[in-house]
């Protein structure tokens, strides 16, 4: 068990971190924070614009600072960006300050959920499926490394996934930071 002051969702883009996270935060009485949205608010620029102007490395530095700030708080559900686990400091902070749920999703589910999305810089290529496969190979072991709980979201609506996850969390974590 991980008695932690925050609930943190990790996983690939299209796994449902934001949509499931909003529902879970409401059910547990937590403040919902989407890390990417937080970065956009702080910088006044979209993630795509940040990537365009300072590259992925510049974005990752902003992400590291944002997660350090967010995870210093308590009583939050933090939906991380898909690549947040790439940084060793982020992984350490996430583990120390959160009960971590890895929301997994297969490539087909991701493609379906992201088919109309044109905002994600890493997917602005014709070979989206290949990009998602490469990201999964690199990131999936890191998601598992930090996870206290793994949930597959394939074939589930955000509402159904949130309900199932809520039941699992109720017996393993509570928002007071005490493992059940």
Q: pLDDT digits over 97-110, tens only?
A: 999 999 999 988 87
14 is in an annotated binding site: yes
To the question of whether residue 58 is assigned a binding role by annotation, the answer is: no
* Rounded distance between C-alpha atoms, residue 138 and residue 37, angstroms: 24
Q: Tell how far CA 168 is from the center of its chain.
A: 18
Q: Tell me whether residue 176 is annotated as binding.
A: no
On the question of pLDDT at 178 being above 50, the answer is no
Whether residue 147 is annotated as binding a ligand: the answer is no
Q: Which of 52-56, 79-83, 125-129, 130-134 has the lowest average pLDDT? A: 125-129
CATH annotation of 7-170: 3.40.50.300
Alpha carbons within 13 angstroms on the beta-carbon side of residue 46 total 7
91 is in an annotated binding site: no
Q: Is 177 annotated as a binding residue?
A: no
Q: Is 120 annotated as a binding residue?
A: yes
The residues near 84 (Cβ < 8 Å, ≥ 6 apart) are: 10, 35, 63, 67, 90, 94
Was 36 annotated as part of a binding site?
Answer: yes
How do residues 112-138 score in pLDDT, each as one tens digit?
A: 877 776 666 666 667 878 888 998 999
Question: Which residue carries 């990537």 as its tokens?
Answer: 51
The SS3 call for residue 178 is coil
Spatial CA neighbour of 169 closest among 21, 16, 15: 21
Has 43 been labeled as part of a binding site? no
């Amino acid at each position: 068990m991980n008695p932690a002051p925050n609930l943190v969702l990790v996983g690939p883009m299209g796994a449902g971190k934001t949509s499931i996270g909003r529902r879970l935060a409401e059910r547990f009485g937590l403040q919902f924070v989407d890390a990417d949205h937080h970065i956009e608010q702080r910088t006044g620029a979209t993630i795509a614009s940040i990537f365009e102007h300072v590259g992925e490395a510049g974005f990752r530095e902003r992400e590291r600072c944002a997660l350090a700030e967010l995870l210093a708080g308590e009583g939050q559900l933090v939906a991380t960006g898909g690549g947040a686990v790439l940084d060793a400091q982020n992984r350490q902070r996430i583990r120390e300050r959160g009960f971590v749920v890895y929301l997994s999703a297969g490539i087909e589910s991701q493609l379906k959920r992201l088919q109309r999305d044109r905002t994600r810089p890493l997917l602005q290529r014709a070979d989206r499926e290949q990009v998602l496969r490469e990201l999964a190979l690199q990131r999936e072991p890191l998601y598992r490394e930090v996870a206290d709980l793994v949930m597959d979201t394939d074939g589930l609506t955000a509402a159904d996934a949130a309900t199932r996850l809520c039941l699992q969390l109720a017996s393993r974590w509570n928002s007071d930071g005490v493992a059940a």
